[in-house]
Amino acid sequence: MWYVELQGKTHEDLMASVLDTINLRKEEEAVRMLLKHLRRRRYKDAFEALSRESGVRLEGDLQARLWHALVENGDYKLSEDILDEAVAEGEFDWYMSWQPYQPEWREMSGCSPQVEERLCCGDAAPAPPGAADLCCADRDPHPRHAVSATAN
């Protein structure tokens, strides 16, 4: 046999206020999702009407200007200017404070010793035709080039 007892205080005014706040936030989030959908589908008039009537804003002024410049108008120069303005106003300060700036060095593409020799000595003879194994893109010869070089 089980006995469950819940103890607490009932504050009807407080609970009514909390429930009203929760319901308001749910409605705002639903309108925000509708606004997002309308903007993605390019229903500009419906987007503006719902935004105006509901009083719900999808984003701040800066983000809205960036959206119009970049997505709607494809104006990359204006988009860069807006981002520069955001940096100057400190919009990215909090985010940037969490980004560690530690370089991570790694070799992008190695060259074979033959290529290194050709690169360091300017008077070296040009590479023979078909010497694909001397490319800097790969440290080791590519199997396809190595097979074709041995087949000739």
What is the rounded distance in angstroms from the CA atom of residue 4 to the CA atom of residue 82?
A: 60
CA angle 18, 21, 24 (to 5 degrees): 150
Quick: pLDDT tens for 104-121. Answer: 777 777 777 777 777 777
What is the rounded distance in angstroms from the CA atom of residue 147 to the CA atom of residue 152?
A: 9
SS3 (DSSP) at 34: helix
**pLDDT > 70 in the chain, percent:** 76
CA of 3: how far to CAs of 7, 10, 100, in Å? 13, 21, 55
pTM value? Answer: 0.51
**Residue 51: band (very low, low, confident or very high) from pLDDT cuts 50, 70, 90:** very high
For residue 24, the model assigns a pLDDT of 94
Domain range list for the chain: 17-58, 59-100, 113-151
Question: Is 23 a residue whose pLDDT tops 50?
Answer: yes
